[in-house]
């Protein structure tokens, strides 16, 4: 871990050691570089922290829905007055309806009711 109160040269040495350790553990320097670039995107780290904290079942459902959406830009979200979140994607609705069967569920946004 890099100490905030360490002198500049020591911070650089510690950072270099952290990077070497990451590369050695992953075995692929390009993956470390990719993670660095992703971490520079605004909001990505916060999003990852939240997703990691979400219960497994909810995270799995969300990831499955987003995967079914295909094009992430097709997903829209609306929060209602009671705090409910509705996601909608035409592609996800088609896949989920097909998966669940026409007689078993009907899509309302991303919510499926039996």
The residue with greater pLDDT, 114 or 110, is 110
- Angstrom distance (rounded) from CA 106 to CA 93: 9
Q: Residues 49, 70: one domain? A: no
Instruction: Find out whether 89 and 69 touch, Cβ atoms under 8 Å.
Output: yes
Q: Residues 43, 69: one domain? A: no
Max mean pLDDT among 77-81, 97-101, 108-112 falls in 77-81
pLDDT, position 107 = 47
Instruction: Find out whether 82 and 93 touch, Cβ atoms under 8 Å.
Output: no
pLDDT, position 31 = 86
Query: How many domains, the chain?
Result: 2
Query: ∠ CA(102), CA(98), CA(65), 5° rounding?
Result: 120
> CA-CA distances (angstroms) from residue 82 to 51, 73, 78, 79, 110?
22, 26, 11, 8, 17
The secondary structure of the chain in percent helix, strand, coil, rounded to multiples of 5, reads 60, 10, 30
Q: Residues 35, 64: one domain? A: no
Range of the domain at 6: 1-53
- How do residues 44-67 score in pLDDT, each as one tens digit? 999 999 999 999 999 998 888 889
Q: Residues 47, 79: one domain? A: no
pLDDT, position 64 = 87
Q: Residues 4, 38: one domain? A: yes
The residue with greater pLDDT, 104 or 99, is 99
Residue 104 scores a pLDDT above 70: no
Residue 92 scores a pLDDT above 50: yes
Q: Would the pTM count as exceeding 0.95? A: no
């Amino acid at each position: 871990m890099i100490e905030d109160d360490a002198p500049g040269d020591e911070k650089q040495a510690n950072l270099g050691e952290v990077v070497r350790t990451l590369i050695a553990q992953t075995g692929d320097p390009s993956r470390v570089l990719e993670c660095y670039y992703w971490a520079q995107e605004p909001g990505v780290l916060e999003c990852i922290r939240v997703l990691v904290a979400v219960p497994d079942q909810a995270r799995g459902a969300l990831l499955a829905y987003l995967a079914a959406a295909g094009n992430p830009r097709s997903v829209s979200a609306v929060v209602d007055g009671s705090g409910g979140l509705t996601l909608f994607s035409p592609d996800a609705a088609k896949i989920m309806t097909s998966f669940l069967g026409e007689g078993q569920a009907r899509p309302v946004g991303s919510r499926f009711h039996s």
